[in-house]
Structure 1
Amino acid sequence: IGLKEIGNEVHFLVYNQGDFFEHILENNNIAVHKFYKRNKFDVLSLFKAIGFMKNQKFDAIGAFLFTPSLYVLLFKLITFSKTKVLVSERSFHSEREEDYRKKIIRKLYRVSNVITANSISQTNYLKSCFPKLVDKIVYIPNGLNIDDFKIKTEHQPSNILKIVSIGHINSNKNTKLLIEAVKILRDTYNIETQVEWLGRTYEFLNEKNIYFEECKELISKYELQNHWNWAGKVKQIQNYLLVSDVLIHPSIGEGFPNAICEGLACGLPIIASNVNDHPHIIKNHSNGFLFNNNDLDDLIDKILRFKKLSIEDKRTMENQARKTAENNFQLSNMVAKYNEMFSL
């Protein structure tokens, strides 16, 4: 939308079914072209998409995440097109052995014109992996239309600590750690919490999410049903952010999460794991707290510190959170940078 507003003609190509944001594109008169895959390895869909990209003669094509990048890189490789191609990683490097598909796709990065990442840590990792491609690798942080985000104005005194967490429910998001913390806060410190967890359960895969089932069993075992709500996919995230006291993001690793950007934009203090780019944005006692990854005691300590803050200190922290978003995540800056990369 931002690229269109500054004078570009923008098209959107999708290969998976799902229309979560389609209405937003339609409302802004952005064409959506669908090449739905019939199965996970639908070669016909891939070549239809490649044919479409060739016939349209686009000046530039951008792809986000690995599989879309594969589509675009194969298009570039097969057709010898002069179209500028930008690929973008939104993930993080893990010490665990990386997926072989990622290694294959990254071998094709040499045919791209620009490689972006939305985190400093991943940008540096890519530069270390591909020293010959350093000039192509660019850091572009997430952008938000900050003015669209309201700021919490009413602060009703309550004995219940209202927590919001946002993320797909999988082991990387470290949901179980927060469940354990909620139990200890109740049993040891007599602190009642209400957690709203926003995010999909991977129901679109038509298979059981084992980690999600384990989380539900843990909540049942600890009798936390009245303290925890699985909100699922949510379009109006602000409705949850504005009634929460704090956003807790306990993930094991991240690129840089939109959830934290959106929380900060609403002036919501953040308690996040001290991984990847989190320490670049979250500062202890300023706009939130950092805790050592997978350290339950440290997470509880940071929650207790936040809970004990005076009303005035919490208001100061909320103001700092909003300022962080305003200073780092302006949509206009992101759009300008992508437009520059597409125009190289």
Structure 2
Amino acid sequence: MNKKIRVLHVAEAAGGVERYLETLFKYNDDDKVENILVCSQNYDYKKFATIVSRVIVLKMTHGIDFKDDIKVEKKLRSLIRQLKPDIVYAHSSKAGAFARISNLGLKNKVIYNPHGWAFNMDQSNLKKKVYREIEKISAYFCDKIVCISDAERTSALTEKICKPNKLQVIYNGIDLDEIKSTIPINKEDLGIPKNAYVIGMVGRLSDQKAPDIFVKAAKLIKEKIPNAYFIIVGDGKLRNRIEHLISIYKLESSFLITGWVDKPSAYMKIMDIGMLLSRWEGFGLVLPEYMTCGVPIIATDVDAIPNIIKNKKNGLLVKKDDYAEVVKKVIMLADNLKLRNDLIAEAKKSAIKFSGQQLIMETYRLLYGIG
């Protein structure tokens, strides 16, 4: 009988990475792979305790804090020595640094998934250069680097992060079955009028996700579609600023920010249009979720998004930060029922390749070396 593979996952960033791991663990074959999760205090560790063999919470800071970071690295190295995993699998940039430093000189396989390159973020050229150089140096200390899209692999090769044979593309996966079975939230429970034309955005209130562009578009959309109602499913550091912008545009009676919710798909299912207006994006996990929920999509033509959304085939693409173009695409969808239905039908077909089953199958075969 083949020995069960023990995988120690290290994760600091929550949000999309947390949802990715939840799907990966749910579809795991416990007879083949034992998963242990070392995560930050930002994770819902009680939930993960039901789907992995063990959860260990370490206090991790998202930014750079040398004193705290050294403590994490020492503790993590001790855990690796104690647990003796076959594979250490690090998720996102900070966890990638922790895992690779802590694992130096230890005999196991190391896999790193940045879940979107930090050097592709919208930031100063100096910061991009620093992140790029860190990734180049760190690449020597792992066996495989997982790219969550073809665009991420192309970016790694362009920036010469590592040799091509170290890179492996595995698309993100979502729990299609759970999304399909999710019951839509009741509009009335949220204070949304029954006849409202609901336009939504699911994601963090951060510069990356461009909630400011969503609100600027909302102001103009409201002038053209009087029964339009806008919903942001998520939370983040920009919430106060976005609420202030909503107030300036006098949209308070037509706008809802839910904060973080357990089942975003329940909110997607009441949307007439779903948006992802990111300024940069490693994948965009919400896109196949919108697809599965039967929500027509408007998204920005940046990074990995065009790998998933084919313009006028399974969604509509707009230029980054161009809220006037967003408004035009909303009107197009509102006025053209055939286009809307065609996009939804094609998107549902596209969603299949982003299933949790596909994710686990490719992870086993391409990373763990098992069938």
Q: Quote the residue 1:205 is aligned against.
A: none
1:324 to 325, 350, 365: 350
CA contact (8 A) 1:185 1:192 kept: no
Report the Cα offset of residue 270 of structure 1: 0.8
Asked if the contact 1:268–1:322 (Cα under 8 Å) also holds between the matched residues in 2, the reply is no
Asked if residue 150 in structure 1 is aligned to residue 180 in structure 2, the reply is: yes
**RMSD, aligned α-carbons:** 2.5
- Give the AA of the match of 2:179: F
Q: 2:48 aligns with which of 19, 25, 30?
A: 25
- Give yes or no for the alignment of 1:126 onto 2:151: no
SS of the aligned residue for 2:312 comes to coil
Contact 1:241/1:266, CA 8 A, preserved across alignment: yes
Paired AA for residue 120 in structure 1: D
Aligned counterpart, 2:21: none
Q: Give the letter aligned to residue 42 of structure 2.
A: G
Matching residue's letter, 1:179:
V
Contact 2:183-2:266 at 8 Å conserved across structures:
no
1:112 to 119, 125, 142: 142
Letter in 1 for 2:108: T
Output aligned runs, 1:1-344, within 5 Å: 1=25, 2-5=27-30, 7-14=32-39, 16-20=40-44, 22-37=45-60, 40-41=65-66, 42=68, 43-77=70-104, 80-92=105-117, 93-94=120-121, 96-97=124-125, 98-99=127-128, 100=130, 103-130=133-160, 132-150=162-180, 160-187=196-223, 189-201=224-236, 209=237, 211-310=238-337, 313-326=339-352, 328-344=353-369
Letter in 2 for 1:140: I
Contact (CA 8 Å) 1:152, 1:243: kept in 2 or not? no
Q: What TM-score, normalized by structure 2, do the two folds share?
A: 0.81
Measure, in 2, the Cα distance between the counterparts of 1:130 and 1:102: 9
Distance 1:186 1:145, change over 3 A: closer
| Alignment gaps of 5+ in structure 2 | 1-24, 188-192
Please state whether the residue corresponding to 2:112 is helix, strand or coil.
strand
Q: Is the 2:116–2:282 contact (alpha carbons within 8 Å) kept by the matching residues of 1?
A: yes
Distance in 2 between residues matched to 1:282 and 1:257, nearest whole Å: 10
CA distance in 2, matches of 1:299, 1:152: 28
In 2, the alpha carbon distance for the partners of 1:153 and 1:317 equals 22
Q: TM-score, normalised on structure 1?
A: 0.87
| Partner amino acid, structure 2, of 1:177 | I
Greater Cα shift, 331-340 or 266-275? 331-340
CA pair 152-300 structure 1, distance change in 2 beyond 3 A: farther
Query: In the TM superposition, what whole-angstrom CA distance separates every residue of 1:113-152 from its partner, at most 9, and x where no partner exists?
Result: 0001112111111122237521101111111232222289
Give the Cα separation in 2 of the matches to 1:13 and 1:116.
Answer: 19
* Post-superposition CA distance 1:39-62 (Å, at most 9, x none): 944122320111111221110011
TM-aligned CA deviation for residue 257 of structure 1 = 1.2
Residues in 1 aligned to 2:260 and 2:312: alpha-carbon distance in whole angstroms: 31
Describe the shift of the 1:199–1:296 C-alpha distance in structure 2 as closer, same or farther (beyond 3 A).
same
CA distance in 1, matches of 2:330, 2:209: 18
Percent identity over paired residues: 20
Could you say which residue in structure 1 is the equivalent of 2:4?
none
**2:363 is aligned with what amino acid?**
Y
User: Contact 1:269/1:288 (CA < 8 Å) preserved in 2?
Assistant: yes
1: distance between equivalents of 2:182 and 2:60? 42
In 2 relative to 1, CA 132–32 (structure 1 residues): closer, same or farther, beyond 3 Å? Answer: closer
Partner in structure 1 of residue 19 of structure 2: none
Structure number with the bigger relative contact order (C-alpha 8 A, sep ≥ 6) is 1
The CA deviation at 1:31 is: 0.7
